Amino acid sequence: MGASRRVHAVLWDVDGTLAETERDGHRVAFNLAFEDLGLPWRWEPARYGELLHVTGGRERLLHDMVSRSDAPALAGEREALAQALHVRKNQRYAELVRSARLPLRDGVLALMHECRERGVRMAVATTTSRSNLAVLLQVHLGAGWNRWFDALVCGEDVQRKKPDPEVYLRALQALALSPLQTVAIEDSPGGVRAARAAHVPVVVTRSAYFADATIEGAVAIGPGLHDRRGWRPALAASADAATPVGLDDLESWCAQMDSVSQFG
């Protein structure tokens, strides 16, 4: 695969990338919040997939209300309802994560451990809330989960959500690194656009809702960090079929990106 280029930091997206939280976590929590507030609404998996094109839970609720005849007529009332639903949904999401132990995607924890062992810094660049991030990672990394990361940029830290690059620009500023010293791991077209607009190279691990989405500008696209098969560009074969995608693979993909000047 050619020479590698040193990666100084890995920037993690959360929903769909660290865990399949959208279909089995957030969607379910929204439906429970609807019930809690006495609303007859329900988001089926296919409908929620459509709504994922709108970034942000509160924004998603407001977008959905436009098509509902039983939603409040006045904009201020819709805002208030969306805010109340979102607060309740986050409470329900925390309950779901703690009780069901929504798993991290296979290969994620292995790459995190490798980063720590090799002195590669990590950051989170997400437009989900800090409370949602905390409950997920506390379950899997323990009470000191935040010490695994040198920067945490969440939805409440930015004015504009993905696909705007603000979340990545803030993460780079906090790390004091240039974009090409880092690599982002994302699952969605909007996340890729956000990283690219900040000139950060992106590796895409396809998630349930974006398994067939058109992705442009990623340095690599594949099924997940747990599987060396099915990646473009292809990964070198390993003697152990269970060997996950690692830092050497990320660095090699970034070196190939350099060779074609994909990010200028």
User: Is 187 an active-site residue?
Assistant: no
Q: Report the pLDDT value the prediction gives residue 56, as an integer from 0 to 100.
A: 85
- Output the DSSP codes for 153-191: E-GGG-SS-TTSTHHHHHHHHHHT--GGGEEEEE-SHHH
Active-site choice (13, 187, 227, 249) = 13
Q: Report the pLDDT value the prediction gives residue 261, as an integer from 0 to 100.
A: 38
Q: Please, are residues 84 and 62 in contact by the beta-carbon 8 Å criterion?
A: no
Determine whether domain 9-20+103-260 maps to CATH 3.40.50.11810: no
pLDDT digit string, tens, across residues 71-116: 999 999 999 999 999 999 999 999 999 997 789 999 999 999 999 9
Amino acid 46 reads A
Q: Please, are residues 197 and 164 in contact by the beta-carbon 8 Å criterion?
A: yes
Q: Please, are residues 226 and 106 in contact by the beta-carbon 8 Å criterion?
A: yes
For 183, half-sphere exposure in the C-beta direction (CA atoms, 13 angstrom radius) is 28
Confidence of residue 257 (pLDDT cuts 50, 70, 90): confident
User: Is 15 an active-site residue?
Assistant: yes
Exposed, middle or buried by CB within 10 Å (0-12, 13-18, 19+), for 33?
buried
pLDDT digit string, tens, across residues 3-25: 567 999 999 999 999 999 999 89
Question: CATH class for domain 22-100?
Answer: mainly alpha
Q: What is the mean pLDDT of residues 23-33?
A: 95
Containing 9, the helix (H) or strand (E) segment is: strand 9-12
pLDDT digit string, tens, across residues 160-218: 999 999 999 999 999 999 999 999 999 999 999 999 999 999 999 999 999 999 999 99
Q: Report the pLDDT value the prediction gives residue 5, as an integer from 0 to 100.
A: 78
C-alpha R_g of the chain: 19
Residue spans of the domains in the chain: they are: 9-20+103-260, 22-100
Confidence of residue 264 (pLDDT cuts 50, 70, 90): very low
Confidence of residue 69 (pLDDT cuts 50, 70, 90): very high
Q: Please, are residues 198 and 186 in contact by the beta-carbon 8 Å criterion?
A: no
